[in-house]
Amino acid sequence: MNLSVRETILGFDLVDGETPLAVYRAREHVPRSDSPKPCFAPIYTASGRLVTEFRPPDHTWHMGLFYGWVHANDCNLWGGGWYLPEKGRYEDVPGTHGIQRHDGFDEVGSSDGVASVRECVSWLDAGDRKIASERRAWDFEPCAGGYRWRIETVIQASGGPLTLGATRAEAHYSGLQLRLGPPFGTVAEPAIFRCSEGRTGHEEIRKEQANWVSAAGAAGGMIAIFDHLQNPRHPSRWHTRENQFGTAPLMDGDLTVDEGDTLRLRYRLLVLDEPVGADPLHEEYADFAGDSRSAA
């Protein structure tokens, strides 16, 4: 593979030679009720299998691969409604949606076979007041059967403490999330999930702890997300459904970052043309666990 990144008016493209692999939408215009946020959509395997879905009709705030936070202080950085336990349902709460605003790229380039991007993001609450600064690092490199992502983010509270919570979501999801699209994974034809602890199926993995979770596409391909051992509350709990999965670091309760302090999160992601067994994924996790590099 010959991976490179190219800055565009929308954000940047990840390509293998001239073959598109992913589009980063840093400046996408979406309704405020969807809590605008940078995202990757589409994402393809090296052979061209589509992995993601962007703004599906059932949840227009699901945007491929994205960071979503159900509530950051009192604002919604996930999108859509909040779960109201007293009513037992989700409802739109006007005037609560914030923004993860792209402020710019510090780096977009390639060196020694690795394509790298460094990005600055500001979190704005419903009144457009800044509540956090974020620096994101994305590194892409070839691996056996596909390509690897090294993902890191550093979130710094601004203007006061930052409390991240997920209690306003029935399933307590938040964090790095991936909305799978047809034909990779749908409600009718789900992706096939497996985790490091030997559980299979999205219902068995949901809300449980694991070092990694993989999803094999209904029509081929595989994607896997790995949680780093230095992340808070490692091994992470996971949010998994037929066509969606991601980390759930807030499932056990809120996380508060004091003003001026930082929260660092590191993940690894594999995009593979064909499914693999558990052993290569255990080996990948062991390699990731020994990787102490800091990029953001």
Confidence at residue 261, expressed as pLDDT on a 0 to 100 scale: 96
Is the predicted pLDDT of residue 254 greater than 80, yes or no?
yes
Q: Where are the domains of the chain?
A: 3-289
Q: How far is the C-alpha of 95 from the C-alpha of 18, rounded, in Å? A: 43
Torsion of CA 258, 122, 60, 236, to 10 degrees: -40
Which stretches within the chain are classed as H helix?
Answer: 202-205, 278-289
| Dihedral in degrees, nearest 10, Cα atoms 257, 225, 230, 208 | 80
**Bond before 42 cis per omega within 30 degrees:** yes
Q: pLDDT band for position 59 (50/70/90)?
A: very high
Residue 204 pLDDT level (bands cut at 50, 70, 90): very high
Q: Residue 119: what pLDDT? A: 99
How far, in Å, CA of 67 to CA of 35, rounded?
11
pLDDT tens string 222-232:
999 999 999 99
For residue 241, what are its two tokens? 């459904």
C-beta of residue 136 within 8 angstroms of C-beta of residue 152 = yes
247 CB neighbour count, 10 Å cutoff: 28
**Do the Cβ atoms of 270 and 210 come closer than 8 Å?**
no
Summarize pLDDT for 66-103 with one digit per residue, the tens: 999 999 999 999 999 988 888 888 898 989 999 999 99
- By residue count, the chain amounts to 296
Q: Residue 177: beta bridge partners? A: 66, 246
Report the b/e string of 215-244 with b at 16+ CB within 10 A: bbbbeebbbbbbbbeebebebbbbbbbbbb
Q: What is the pLDDT of residues 98-128, one digit of tens each?
A: 999 999 999 999 998 899 999 999 999 999 9
First to last CA, the chain: 25
% pLDDT > 70, the chain: 100
Q: What kind of architecture, by CATH, is found in domain 3-289?
A: Distorted Sandwich (2.70)
Give the residue with greater pLDDT, 212 vs 170: 212
d(CA 171, CA 230): 24
- The chain-wide mean pLDDT, for the chain, equals 96
- Residue linked to tokens 């034909």: 183
User: In the predicted model, is pLDDT for residue 171 greater than 80?
Assistant: no
Can you give the pLDDT at residue 209?
A: 98
Amino acid 87: pLDDT: 86
Residue 87 token pair: 């009513």
Q: What is the dihedral of CA 277, 251, 123, 149, to 10 degrees?
A: -10
Q: How do residues 18-47 score in pLDDT, each as one tens digit?
A: 999 999 999 999 999 999 999 999 999 999
pLDDT of residue 172: 85
Q: Is the CB of residue 43 less than 8 Å from the CB of residue 22? A: yes
Per-residue model confidence as pLDDT tens digits over 269-291: 999 999 999 999 999 999 999 99
